[in-house]
Structure formats: structure tokens, C-alpha cells
């Protein structure tokens, strides 16, 4: 399995918009479409897991406190229940549409991906950067 680091940046903001995420990729990734589908599926699953963990009241460790301070939010579970989770297939379709519509750019190992059917070289696949574009105000 390939180990992949996924990063995201918003144009006009300093630094990354979120902490890098490491994913294990299966052998099914062949095209940009496949890669996007895999990343979205992994992120929806991670979101579901976080929602489940938030329902449980837990004891905060020093590490939990330090991590919470780092991101500016400390939670101890027992959050307000919100059972809404995104539909995986709809999330994938939205990501594909946004890619085609140019709402974000995708770079694989510093090479810009331009088409959903573009082949991704799995032997070289180690880093993905998403760059989200923000429209100009009033533009």
C-alpha cells in the first residue's frame, strides 16, 4: 500500500488550511477520479468516526488538552447530538464537480492534475496538495 500525505491550502491565507492527513491507498487508484474518490471516502469515514467519538463523555488527558489548545478548541465528548453525516457518494460527486468547475486545483507530487481521467503514477504517489481558490469580493 502507498502512504499518502494530503494537504490543503486556501489562496490568500498563510499556511495550510488544516493539518496534513496521512492515508493508506489501496491498489484501486489509477486516475485522478479514483484518487479523489478514495480521499473523499476516507475523509467521510473519518468524519463519521469523530462524530461517534464526540457522543462519548471521556476524561481529558494532558495530550488532549495540549492538542485542543493548539487548534483552539477543547472538547470532552457529550457534544450536542447531530446525527447528520454526509452521503459518501454525494460527497464524491460534489468533489468531482468542483474539480471540473475549477473551484480548486490538485497537485500530485507538485504536478498539477488537469483532468479527471488523467492517469496517476502510483509508484510516485506520495503527496497531494489541494489549493482552493476564493472568488474576489464583488467580482
Per residue in 9-46, pLDDT tens? 887 777 767 778 888 776 667 899 999 998 999 889 88
* 4 exposure class (CB count in 10 Å sphere: 0-12, 13-18, 19+): buried
* Phi, psi angles (nearest 5°) of residue 3: -100, 130
Residues paired with 31 in a beta bridge: 119
Q: What is the pLDDT of residue 57?
A: 56
Q: Where are the domains of the chain?
A: 2-132
Q: Which fold has domain 2-132?
A: Ubiquitin-like (UB roll) (3.10.20)
Q: Residue 117 pLDDT > 60, yes or no?
A: yes
Q: What is the pLDDT of residues 59-82, one digit of tens each?
A: 778 887 888 888 787 766 555 555
| 98/82 Cα distance (integer angstroms) | 26
Amino acid at each position: 500500500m502507498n502512504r499518502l500525505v494530503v494537504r490543503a491550502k486556501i489562496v490568500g491565507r498563510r499556511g495550510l488550511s488544516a493539518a496534513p492527513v496521512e492515508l493508506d491507498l489501496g491498489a484501486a487508484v489509477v486516475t485522478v477520479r479514483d484518487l479523489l474518490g478514495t480521499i473523499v471516502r476516507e475523509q467521510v469515514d473519518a468524519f463519521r468516526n469523530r462524530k461517534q467519538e464526540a457522543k462519548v463523555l471521556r476524561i481529558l488527558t494532558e495530550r488532549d488538552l495540549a492538542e485542543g489548545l493548539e487548534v483552539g478548541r477543547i472538547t470532552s465528548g457529550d457534544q450536542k447530538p447531530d446525527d447528520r453525516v454526509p452521503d459518501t457518494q454525494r460527497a464524491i460527486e460534489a468533489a468531482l464537480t468542483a474539480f471540473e468547475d475549477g473551484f480548486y486545483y490538485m497537485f500530485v507530487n507538485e504536478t498539477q492534475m488537469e483532468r479527471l481521467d488523467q492517469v496517476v503514477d502510483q509508484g510516485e504517489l506520495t503527496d497531494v496538495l489541494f489549493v482552493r481558490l476564493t472568488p474576489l469580493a464583488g467580482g
